[in-house]
Amino acid sequence: MPLTSFAELNLLPPLRRALDHLGYAVPTPIQAQAIPHLLAGRDLLGCAQTGTGKTAAFALPMLQRLAQDRRRPAPKAARALVLTPTRELAVQIADSFRAYGRHLPLTMAVVYGGVGHIPQVRACARGVDVLVATPGRLLDLMGQGLIRLDSLEVFVLDEADRMLDMGFLPDIKRVLSVLPARRQTLFFSATMPPAIAGLADGMLKDPVKVAVTPAATPVELIEQRVLFVSQADKRALLGEVLKDAGITRALIFTRTKHGADRVARQLDGLNVATGVIHGNKSQNARQQALDLFRSGRTRVLVATDIAARGIDVEGISHVINYDLPHEPESYVHRIGRTGRAGAEGVAISFCGSDERAQLRQIEKLIHQSVPVVEDHPFRLRLAPPPVAARPPRSGQGRRHHYGGRSSAGRV
């Protein structure tokens, strides 16, 4: 029988009180499947994307374990560690721990690069129950003897596939080399290719395996479209697409940091309220851009894949792939930023003549052809009609609509 309430998970009253305050009623599938095993001390291998409730799935049993065994952490030490790839994701996870543990006498800290390290060092000096960290800053502080992990009880590796994409495998191995053998380990990844599975095998002991969504399956409520366009016309096409009032909040992906800056400057010139986040931006600048986008004060946020992985913003109506990603799995992660929590969403991709191979790989991964919009003012005429193409609808004029699902302009 499926669980119908958090009360059935045998969580401590302070945790249930926090969940009631947050309006959490019924556990998500990953929470229902994972929490009982984690409370029992089992290792876990979880295949789950962001937006599935996985943070609560690992945070709640961790907080319960730490609260029930109220030992004091040693100076500069952590009892539990969550290792995550990006600053934005680290901040979000830390905020979640604070929200769930608001009625518990536990301490926590979050460490990440791009900001001064002194406040982070002070937060860890007396020892903390929960530490959330990105690999680079964690290793930096460990190298200076400012953080110890030799008494760690619980280790969570989050977004493992993105960690490897970002080249963090050597850093992960350095962290693993100093962890005690006797520990509980939780491993989460949105996809499970052989390299990720091999890493998990080396870290986990008799793990429970939980998969709540098929790896790399796009959200069913997302309507996908592709527009063939020359690289030189992409900026003009973007300006045309954003004239559609149906695009209320758009997340635009570029392949490079310089490309993100160029697109943001172009949109600023068109008086489109725009923010931009990428790895060269300071943490304060990235957080400010994200806050403005989340509050609706900017309509558009331009981002690179790495910077955007931790973005979880409600109400994103459109994802626009200004550049197609090299890895087809990244396409799935990108478009998953819209159509969240049961809402509908639209994903629009610009495809240049040199990006056809990426499009074919994406379609192979998602097991479907992406419908083509033929009727747009910058159509790349050299493109052969794909299988998914359909004739333009009769009576369609020169005005183009990209916003609502019923006015998609799909052909």
Q: Residue range 134-150: average pLDDT? A: 95
Single pTM value for the model: 0.62
Please give the pLDDT value at position 194.
86
What are phi and psi for residue 113, nearest 5 degrees? -80, 175
Please give the pLDDT value at position 43.
97
Token code pair at residue 217: 């399956």
Per-residue confidence band for 388, with pLDDT thresholds at 50, 70 and 90: very low
**DSSP assignment of 31-42:** HHHHHHHHHTT-
In this structure, the chain runs to a length of 411
pLDDT in tens, 255-269: 999 999 999 999 999
The answer to whether residue 59 scores a pLDDT higher than 90 is: yes
Per-residue confidence band for 371, with pLDDT thresholds at 50, 70 and 90: very high
The answer to whether residue 389 scores a pLDDT higher than 50 is: no
By the 10 Å C-beta count (0-12 exposed, 13-18 middle, 19+ buried), 102 is classed as middle
Sketch out the chain's domains with CATH numbers: 6-211 (3.40.50.300), 222-407 (3.40.50.300)
pLDDT in tens, 299-356: 999 998 866 665 678 889 999 999 998 878 788 878 888 876 556 789 999 999 999 9
Q: Residue 291 in 3-state DSSP? A: helix
Per-residue confidence band for 211, with pLDDT thresholds at 50, 70 and 90: confident
pLDDT in tens, 60-76: 999 999 999 989 999 99
Q: What percent of the chain has pLDDT over 90?
A: 58
Please give the pLDDT value at position 379.
87
The answer to whether residue 131 scores a pLDDT higher than 90 is: yes
Find residue 302's DSSP bridge partners.
Answer: 252, 276
Q: Which residues of 325-342 are buried (b: 16+ CB within 10 A; e: fewer)?
A: bebbbbbbbbbbbbbbee
Hey, which of 42-56, 136-150, 212-226, 317-331 has the most confident mean pLDDT?
136-150
* C-beta neighbour count of 128 within 10 angstroms: 23
Report which residue type is found at 122.
Answer: R
Token code pair at residue 320: 């626009």
* 279 vs 219 pLDDT, higher one: 279
Please give the pLDDT value at position 406.
39
Yes or no: say if 292 and 317 are a contact pair by the CB < 8 Å rule: no
The answer to whether residue 108 scores a pLDDT higher than 70 is: yes
Tell which residue, 107, 95, 122, has the closest CA to residue 63: 107
Please give the pLDDT value at position 405.
52
